[in-house]
Amino acid sequence: QVQLVESGGGSVQAGGSLKLSCEASGMIARIDNMGWFRQAPGKQRELVASISKDLVTDYRDSVKGRFTISRDNTKKKIFLQMNSLEPEDTAVYYCNANIVAIGDWGRSSNYWGQGTQVTVSS
């Protein structure tokens, strides 16, 4: 069974920093794109940043220059370094990945972590 487990959320004042981590575990043959999404109360879930297995990154405009996504393929982990946090960044952050599990004959499936709360106060 494949799992994604996030860690690193918390509460911080505006201007502060947090680093989120996500580790994939289980019977994994290959991990393709990975990313971070977030969902604020009453809003739709939105993509924050993504990173391919070749380490190509993409960010939503509102976090460019403040957030950095990175990946450690050997440890099956991704990270999201969040600097200059703003109250508008308050949300539950979810790790997401396209993973080929062992025994799935090359078929990629999409997985979500359980989410970690990030709260930024003004």
Helix H or strand E segment including 37: strand 28-39
The string of pLDDT tens digits covering residues 22-46 is 999 999 999 999 999 999 999 999 9
Distances (CA, A) of 62 to 54, 82, 94: 24, 12, 17
What's the CA gap between 7 and 3, in Å, rounded?
13
Model pLDDT for residues 66-81, shown as the tens digit of each residue: 999 999 989 999 999 9
pLDDT at 104: 87
Q: Residue 35 has what pLDDT?
A: 98
Residue range 58-65: mean pLDDT, rounded: 98
The pLDDT of 97-117, averaged and rounded, is 95
Mean pLDDT of 52-79: 96
Whether 69 and 43 have beta carbons less than 8 Å apart is answered as: no
Average pLDDT, the chain: 97
pLDDT at 58: 98
Q: Which residue has the higher pLDDT, 104 or 33?
A: 33
Using an 8 Å Cβ cutoff, are 2 and 28 in contact? yes
- 19, two tokens: 């680093």
Q: 22 with 6: CB under 8 angstroms?
A: yes
Mean pLDDT across the stretch 94-115?
A: 95
Higher pLDDT, 59 or 104: 59
CA distance linking residue 91 with residue 81, whole number of Å:
15
